[in-house]
Amino acid sequence: MIGTRRSSAAKYASALVFAASFLFLNSAVAQTGYQPSPANLQARREFQDAKFGMFIHWGVYSVLGAGEWVFHERKLTLDEYNKLPSFFDPEKFDAKTWVALAKSAGMKYITITSRHHDGFAMFDSKVSDWNIVQRTPYGKDPLKMLADECHRQGIKLFFYYSQLDWHNPDYYPRGRTDWNNGRPDHGDFNAYLDNYMDGQLRELLTNYGPIGGIWFDGMWDKPDADWHLAKTYALIHQLQPAALIIPNHHEKPKPGEDVQTFERDLPGQNTAGFNTEYISSQLPLESSDTLNDSWGFNIGDSHYKSPAELERRLVRAAGNNSNLLLNIGPMPNGEIQQEFVTRLHAVGEWISKYGDSIYGTRGGPIPPGDWGVTTQKGNRIYVHVLDWGAPLLALPPISGKVESAKWLIEGTPVSFTQNADGLILKLPPLGEEVVDRVIVLTLAD
């Protein structure tokens, strides 16, 4: 037996060192030492100025009209799910209509599922034939058409990309969402990451012109796995330095990531139960949510949010220094259901009047409250009174002298007093229901 019998303390200590290094290796390393390029920092500012994006969950799962988790929820086998693409023929898909709808809603960017957890590529991939061009009667690449149209209409396009894969045999060992769908109990996860995933990411960052970034999802399926983040993040930043990496891993941001996104929650909130309460003070923030209760097309989900709810959601996101990424799930024929179109047009109508108090702003300076939020831009502070019926609104002190206070829409003055204790705004009695009563405070230079 070589060497002395090591004391249990020594064994315990080295186990600790090993565990710590493994955790460090795994979580912190990502793209250690990552310095965002000037183009990336500019893209981050433009992202924050944009404030409002369209999330699109669309795939062969749309055919069943039961959301994007139908493969898992119905515990289908591979053979069963492999039939779906042959039914997917979205002859009504029109990139111009989709992009125009996003613009009409006041949205400045689109994030579409290039590949969801079923692993099916909604683009022309040479890495695997499990894709829309080779496996569907449609046989065309909708992401190419969408990318071209976005470039034409000045809308940034982001690609959602699922790291979780319920279809690829090399996604092995499988994770928390596993069920026996007929895949073999062996596979090469490193090959899955390095060849398959990075191969497809290279296609998405090479064949579609300049893109806004990659919106990752699914790491939460194997939270302790080594996802080769350093390699994947470096690949993305090397191919398109301005592309933003937006990981929906529900954890504290890791080196190499460019935006922190929260699902179904405002930054720091965790009503969804899986979001981190950590809020990055460095990275732009985003909050994603559904227009009804579903991400993918769900024929039985008519629980639509009202335009007022959506507008308030956007304002509260802005007041929390965050973007809102609002989701639609198009139908399998490529059309977007009227319930979504009507509400997006209504939001567009609203933001065409209130946009100044949203676009290009940052949250604050007064922290969000039940009464409402504030946004700021240059020497202007926008006080968004969302839920306050009393005649006086007392706000904490702000730095800078308020020169004038006016209603954003009417332009008429609002009487106020400002002293060291704070700012008091005199509000007329509430008339008809107003989504957001906005007062513009102009600060003296």
Nearer to ligand FHN, 69 or 304 (CB): 69
- Residue type at position 309: E
Secondary structure (3-state) at 286? strand
Is 46 an interacting residue with respect to ligand FHN (CB under 6 A)? no
Binder among 48, 114, 125, 248 for ligand FHN (CB under 6 A): 248
The alpha helices in 174-292, defined as continuous H runs, are: 189-191, 198-204, 229-239
Is 323 an interacting residue with respect to ligand FHN (CB under 6 A)? no
Is 263 an interacting residue with respect to ligand FHN (CB under 6 A)? yes
Which region, left, alpha or beta, applies to residue 374 given φ > 0 means left and ψ of -120 to 50 means alpha? beta
Is 288 an interacting residue with respect to ligand FHN (CB under 6 A)? yes
Nearer to ligand FHN, 295 or 297 (CB): 295
Nearer to ligand FHN, 295 or 340 (CB): 295
Secondary structure (3-state) at 221? helix
* Token duo for residue 1: 């037996």
- Residue type at position 388: W
Is 295 an interacting residue with respect to ligand FHN (CB under 6 A)? yes
- Residue type at position 80: E
Is 311 an interacting residue with respect to ligand FHN (CB under 6 A)? no
Q: How far is the CB of 425 from ligand FHN (least distance, A)?
A: 37
Residue bearing tokens 């090959």: 191
Q: How far is the CB of 192 from ligand FHN (least distance, A)?
A: 18
CA contacts within 13 A on the Cβ side of 205: 24
Binder among 217, 257, 258, 265 for ligand FHN (CB under 6 A): 217
Is 258 an interacting residue with respect to ligand FHN (CB under 6 A)? no
Q: How far is the CB of 396 from ligand FHN (least distance, A)?
A: 34
Nearer to ligand FHN, 68 or 311 (CB): 68
Nearer to ligand FHN, 69 or 138 (CB): 69
**81: Cα separation from own chain's centroid:** 27
Q: Is 339 exposed, middle or buried (0-12, 13-18, 19+ CB in 10 A)?
A: middle
Secondary structure (3-state) at 163? coil
Nearer to ligand FHN, 131 or 248 (CB): 248
Q: How far is the CB of 68 from ligand FHN (least distance, A)?
A: 5
Q: How far is the CB of 124 from ligand FHN (least distance, A)?
A: 22
Nearer to ligand FHN, 68 or 170 (CB): 68
* Token duo for residue 361: 């702003």
Nearer to ligand FHN, 200 or 357 (CB): 200
Farthest CA pair distance, the chain: 89
Q: How far is the CB of 324 from ligand FHN (least distance, A)?
A: 13
Nearer to ligand FHN, 149 or 286 (CB): 286
Q: How far is the CB of 244 from ligand FHN (least distance, A)?
A: 16
Is 287 an interacting residue with respect to ligand FHN (CB under 6 A)? no
3-state secondary structure 72-121: HHCCCCHHHHCCHHHHCCCCCCCHHHHHHHHHHCCCCEEEEEEECCCCCE
By CB under 6 A, the residues from 53 to 82 that bind ligand FHN are 68-69
Q: Is 411 exposed, middle or buried (0-12, 13-18, 19+ CB in 10 A)?
A: exposed
Residue 166 · residue 181 · CB < 8 Å = yes
The alpha helices in 323-394, defined as continuous H runs, are: 338-354
**58: Cα separation from own chain's centroid:** 15
Using CB under 6 A, count the residues that bind ligand FHN. Answer: 7
Q: What are the residues binding ligand FHN (CB under 6 A)? A: 68-69, 217, 248, 263, 288, 295
